[in-house]
Amino acid sequence: SQGFLTIFAGEPGTGKTSLCNILGKALGLFKEENSRYLEVSIEKGWTSKRDFIGYYNPLSQKFDSMNKIVFDGFELLDKEKKDRNENYPFIITLDEANLSPMEYYWADFMNNCDLENEFRSINMGENYIYALPKNLRFLATINYDHTTEVLSPRLIDRAWIILLEISSIDINNLININIDSVGYKNGGKVTFLDKNTDTSLY
């Protein structure tokens, strides 16, 4: 919650993607329609935001979305920003984020890492300019091997990086906690609910 971009780094099998999914589920962001948790699988060779989101086609005078769920997500966030509704988290996970250089396809977002800036936006061409509200966060998973790109100092300076190491955990020994997910009440205030009684814990 402290930064615009949080990167989970580590070897394959350390649970990077699973952790992102757990965070999304714990925050109650998974929905059948208008999900507030989006997972994007990065492909090798991406060079700009047109690969990530899409681009304005001057011939058809329409926006060609390369990833419709992401484009729809930005439309929703822009509407919420205009309605001054920024209480509920929205997470976009970049899975295998460094298969292509993040400084290329994520460049427009690097200039918007300041969470205190009320006028953050991204220009996708022509009149497709969308506000980036304060409730938007990016998560990214990266591996370190010969198939991936190295993160630049410019990107590292703007991100929180968490290194996950391989560990053996016996899930049978974990304590069963009766917390299902995070509820949002009282104008966005986080309330933890006991899933057995549906009452507030704190």
* 91-104: average pLDDT: 95
pLDDT score, position 126: 80
**Range with the poorest average pLDDT among 35-39, 62-66, 175-179:** 175-179
pLDDT score, position 145: 77
Specify the residue for token string 């391989």.
Answer: 166
The pTM assigned to this predicted structure is: 0.80
Please state, in angstroms and rounded to a whole number, the distance separating the CA atoms of residues 60 and 38: 28
Residue 34 has a CB neighbour count (10 Å cut-off) of: 9
